[in-house]
C-alpha cells in the first residue's frame, strides 16, 4: 500500500521511514475478496444510512473467518469510512461477535433460570465435561478441536433463547434443539464431532457456523428449501389446538367494520 503524498509531506522523518511506519499499522484484509466486498455493498444499500449496515456486516465478516478478527474490523471500517476503534467498540459489545476463531459448530446451551431448573445446568455440565481434555471441562466460549476443522465445537452457555415452553433448549449454529436432556445433548454433540449433522427440532437442515452467519447477514441464495419444516412446535400450538377441539373462538367479526371519521384538526 502506498502512503499518500500529504502524509509524506507532513512527516518529519525521511520518506522511506515514513512509509515503513505508516504501513506497519495497515492490516491485511485480502482474505475478504471481491465477492465479500460486493456483499458488503449490498448490505449498505438496504439502509437509509450506511452505518446501519455495521451489525449485518460483522455477521458477514464472521461468515468468512469464523470470528471477528482485526482484519474483519479493518474491513468494516474501510467499507463504512469509520475508524477501527469505532468498529471495535461495536464488535466487542455484542455476544454473538466472537473474538476468537469458532469451531465448525457453535453449541449454545441455555442456562437461564427456567431452563436451568429444568436441567439446563446439568446439560451444560455434561457437555463441557465431554468436550474438555486432561480432566478439565471445556470453558465458556472455548473450542474443542482445531477451530474451523471438521468436528470442532465451540461451546457457550447462553442467556434466555426465547423458547421457554420448549425448555430446556440448546442451539447449534442458532438452530433450535428443543426439550433436551443431558443424554440427548451428549448424543448430539458426539454426532457433531463425528461429522454428522442431526436435524434441529424446528428449522432447516444443519450447516455450519459460518454458513449460519452468512444467512444472518441476510444472504439466503439457493437455500429456499431451508424454509420448510413445521410451522410451529406442538407446544406452540397447544392453546390453538385446545380451542379448535372445544369449538372456542374469538367473537365473530362484523360483516363491515367502519373506520371512525377523519378527526378534525385542532
Partner 1 sequence: MDKVADTLTPVLTKRWLSPRSWTLKTYEQLEGYTALRKALAAHPDQIIAQCKDSGLRGRGGAGFPTGMKWGFIPQGDGKPHYLVINADEGEPGTCKDIPLMMADPHSLIEGIIITSYAIRANFAAIYVRGEVLHCIRRLNAAVQEAYAAGYLGKNVLGSGFDLDVVVHAGAGAYICGEETALLDSLEGKRGQPRLKPPFPATAGLYASPTVVNNVETIASVPYIVNGGSDWFRSMGRERSPGPKIYSLSGHVERPGQYEAPMGTTLRQLLELAGGMKDGIPLKFWTPGGSSTPLFTADHLDVPLDFEGAAEAGSMLGTTALQVFNETVSVPWAVMKWTEFYKHESCGKCTPCREGTYWLVQILQRMVRGEGTPSDIDTLLDVCDNILGRSFCALGDGAVSPITSGIKYFKDEFLALCEANAASNTAPALAGAAR
Instruction: Please report, as residue ranges, which positions from 39 to 98 form the binding site for partner 1 (by CB under 8 A).
Output: 46-49, 51-56, 58-59, 80, 89-90, 93-97
- Across the chain, where does the E strand assignment appear? 105-110, 142-144, 153-158, 170-172, 175-177
Q: What is the DSSP letter of 230?
A: -
Q: State the CB neighbour count (10 A cutoff) for residue 53.
A: 23
* Minimum distance, C-beta of residue 22 to partner 1, in the bound complex (Å): 28
Interface positions, 19-38, toward partner 1 (CB under 8 A) = none
* Minimum distance, C-beta of residue 104 to partner 1, in the bound complex (Å): 16
Interface positions, 110-169, toward partner 1 (CB under 8 A) = 111-114, 116-118, 158-167
Burial 81-120 (b: 16+ CB within 10 A, else e): ebebebbbebbeeeeebbeebbbbbbbbbbbbeebbebbb
Query: Which residue's CB is nearer to partner 1, number 116 or number 153?
Result: 116
Q: Does 100 bind partner 1 (CB under 8 A)?
A: no
Query: Which residue's CB is nearer to partner 1, number 153 or number 213?
Result: 213
Exactly one of 81, 85, 251, 266 binds partner 1 (CB under 8 A); that residue is 251
Cα separation, 67 vs 54, in Å, equals: 15
Cα separation, 266 vs 262, in Å, equals: 12
**3-class secondary structure, 142:** strand
Q: Does 242 bind partner 1 (CB under 8 A)?
A: yes
Query: Which residue's CB is nearer to partner 1, number 135 or number 222?
Result: 222
Q: Does 196 bind partner 1 (CB under 8 A)?
A: no
Q: Which of 202, 251, 189 is nearest to 229 (CA)?
A: 202
Q: Does 259 bind partner 1 (CB under 8 A)?
A: yes
* Minimum distance, C-beta of residue 139 to partner 1, in the bound complex (Å): 15
Angle value at C-alpha 35, between 30 and 38, nearest 5 degrees: 105
Q: Does 180 bind partner 1 (CB under 8 A)?
A: no
Amino acid at each position: 500500500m502506498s502512503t499518500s503524498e500529504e502524509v509524506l509531506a507532513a512527516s518529519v522523518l525521511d520518506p522511506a521511514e515514513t512509509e515503513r511506519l505508516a504501513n506497519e499499522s495497515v492490516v491485511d484484509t485480502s482474505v475478504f475478496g471481491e465477492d465479500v466486498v460486493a456483499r458488503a455493498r449490498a448490505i449498505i444499500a438496504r439502509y437509509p444510512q450506511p452505518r446501519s449496515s455495521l451489525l449485518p456486516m460483522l455477521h458477514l465478516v464472521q461468515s468468512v473467518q469464523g470470528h471477528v478478527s482485526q482484519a474483519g474490523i479493518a474491513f468494516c471500517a474501510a467499507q463504512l469510512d469509520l475508524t477501527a476503534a469505532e468498529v471495535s467498540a461495536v464488535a466487542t459489545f455484542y455476544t454473538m461477535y466472537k473474538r476468537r476463531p469458532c469451531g465448525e459448530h457453535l453449541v449454545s446451551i441455555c442456562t437461564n433460570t427456567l431452563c436451568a431448573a429444568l436441567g439446563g445446568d446439568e446439560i451444560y455440565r455434561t457437555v463441557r465435561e465431554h468436550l474438555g481434555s486432561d480432566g478439565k471441562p471445556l470453558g465458556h466460549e472455548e473450542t474443542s478441536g482445531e477451530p474451523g476443522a471438521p468436528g470442532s465445537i465451540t461451546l457457550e452457555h447462553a442467556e434466555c433463547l426465547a423458547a421457554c415452553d420448549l425448555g430446556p433448549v440448546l442451539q447449534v449454529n442458532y438452530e433450535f434443539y428443543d426439550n433436551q436432556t443431558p443424554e440427548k445433548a451428549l448424543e448430539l454433540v458426539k454426532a457433531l464431532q463425528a461429522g454428522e449433522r442431526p436435524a434441529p427440532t424446528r428449522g432447516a437442515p444443519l450447516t455450519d457456523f459460518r454458513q449460519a452467519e452468512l444467512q444472518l447477514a441476510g444472504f439466503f441464495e439457493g437455500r429456499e428449501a431451508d424454509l420448510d419444516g413445521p410451522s410451529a412446535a406442538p407446544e406452540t400450538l397447544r392453546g390453538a389446538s385446545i380451542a379448535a377441539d372445544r369449538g372456542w373462538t374469538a367473537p365473530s367479526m362484523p360483516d363491515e367494520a367502519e373506520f371512525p371519521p377523519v378527526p378534525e384538526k385542532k
